[in-house]
Amino acid sequence: MKAIKRGLIGLGTVSVLFFTLVFLVIGSGSVDSQTYSATSGGISVSAQEFAQKFTEKTGRQLSEENAQTALDFGARLMNQHHFTLQGTSGSLAVAYRECGFDHTAVNPSGGVAGFYQWSGWSSTINGDRWAQAKEKKLDKQIQIDLMSAELEGPYAQVVEKVGPSTDPKQAARDWSQYYEGVAISDSQTKVSDIEQWAEVIYDILKDAQATFNQENNTGSSSVAVPEGWGNISQYDGHAYDGSGSYPAGQCTWYVFNRAKQLGIQFDSFMGNGGQWWQKAGYKSSHTPKKHTAVSFVQGQAGSDPTYGHVAFCEEVRSDGSVLISEMNVVGVPAMTVGYRVFDANTAKQFWYVDGH
């Protein structure tokens, strides 16, 4: 991760691995075969789908495990650091160059290891960026948190340069230069390769980005907590145990994780967003209630006409109006948490599902 030559572990080194990129999943856990589509908007692509398309477009195979890893890192970039789809694609293209999305990759000659091949693993010849990690361990979550710590600290300029990018190729070049520390003129950059992969990743994700139906969206929307709604905690960006059954970035995935963050448990297989209120073993009613799942039946309040939608009730006012948080409605950047306010008459049309 420095401009110094250190025997970069690239695709030539790891070509014997099978890669199956999966995009947009924050957190741990493999993609379960029983996945649910929930709402339109944002990104909806499974590891298997991404792997297949990535292989078709590049001629390189990718394992679902490594694909899931890419999803986890990408989701953190978009949700917590508010990267655009283009910026995230550029970052992941560089990660593919570095390790083929294998977060356990180690390059002894350079003393580097991990998803972005951080220095300081077995030697400090190229620096010691592993020193900022919570633990020196080839664990995915530890590495995701290490990336965040750097982007919120010594590498904050990378967020400014790459985060708002509208060009995946430029984003890849900038990430390589400013985060990896490899000059564009350095042969290790492999400019043509990372540009190609950035475009491939972006094209796949862009095609998977549906458009939320705004025609019947009766709520007042915002990407920030509306003024006057008090101190609402923010989603922490983690994918908690049990969330792997939901496509990352979907409304179902978000509500499961947001609830879990607050100590509330929903089942890993609640169904599509419009089905949550019907789940056996869970109490549902039309009475608005704080910290419940809000299930929208198909087509309700702009939800998908086939799958419906689910959101999280953050607050209920004395007048009956509600504030909900949700994902895959705002859509740009992907993985963005949005907020909507509904008046009392509208709010009581939805189903409020109590967690355990």
Q: How many angstroms from the chain centroid is the CA of residue 312?
A: 18
Residue 20: inside a domain: yes
Domain match, 188 and 243 both = no
Q: Give the integer Cα–Cα distance in Å for 26 and 68.
A: 9
Domain match, 194 and 86 both = yes
Domain match, 41 and 144 both = yes
Q: How many angstroms from the chain centroid is the CA of residue 163?
A: 14
Residue 3: inside a domain: no
Q: What pLDDT was estimated at residue 17?
A: 25
CA distances from 108 to 23, 86, 117, 128 (A): 28, 32, 11, 14
What's 310's domain CATH number? 3.90.1720.10
CA angle 271, 277, 280 (to 5 degrees): 75
Q: What pLDDT was estimated at residue 279?
A: 96
Domain match, 307 and 160 both = no
Question: What pTM value is reported for the model?
Answer: 0.56
Domain match, 190 and 250 both = no
What's 193's domain CATH number? 1.10.530
Domain match, 199 and 89 both = yes
Sign of CA dihedral 342, 343, 348, 353: positive
Domain match, 233 and 187 both = no
Residue 313: inside a domain: yes
Domain boundary among 150, 179, 208: 208
Token pair, residue 278, equals: 């019907």
Residue 5: inside a domain: no
Give how many domains the chain has, as a whole number.
2
* Phi, psi angles (nearest 5°) of residue 60: -115, 130
CB 115 within 8 A of CB 101: yes
23-41: pLDDT as tens digits: 333 222 222 222 222 222 3
222-253: pLDDT as tens digits: 677 888 888 888 888 888 999 988 888 889 99
Can you tell me whether residue 40 is helix, strand or coil? coil
Domain boundary among 208, 232, 259: 208
CA distances from 194 to 62, 171, 233, 294, 329 (A): 16, 10, 37, 41, 30
Domain match, 20 and 150 both = yes
Q: Where are the beta strands (DSSP E) in 134-190?
A: none
CB 239 within 8 A of CB 335: no
Residue with tokens 């909507």: 340
Q: Give the integer Cα–Cα distance in Å for 125 and 7.
A: 12
Q: What pLDDT was estimated at residue 4?
A: 38
CA distances from 293 to 188, 228, 254, 285 (A): 48, 22, 11, 11
Domain match, 169 and 254 both = no
Domain match, 180 and 47 both = yes
Q: What pLDDT was estimated at residue 222?
A: 66
Domain match, 112 and 19 both = yes
Residue 6: inside a domain: no
* Range(s) of the domain holding residue 249: 220-353
> What is the full DSSP assignment across 312-352?
EEEEE-TTS-EEEEEESSS-SSTT-EEEEEE-HHHHTTSEE
CA distances from 199 to 14, 38, 90, 106, 142 (A): 21, 27, 8, 27, 28
Q: Rounded mean pLDDT of the chain?
A: 82
Residue 4: inside a domain: no
Domain match, 225 and 199 both = no
Residue 348 in this model has a pLDDT that exceeds 90? yes
284-299: pLDDT as tens digits: 999 999 999 999 998 8
Q: Give the integer Cα–Cα distance in Å for 295 and 351.
A: 5
Q: Give the integer Cα–Cα distance in Å for 230 and 225.
A: 9
Residue 1: inside a domain: no
Domain boundary among 178, 208, 238: 208
Q: Average the pLDDT over each of 83-87, 131-135, 181-185, 271-275 and give the range with the smallest value.
A: 83-87
Residue 326: inside a domain: yes
* Phi, psi angles (nearest 5°) of residue 66: -70, -30
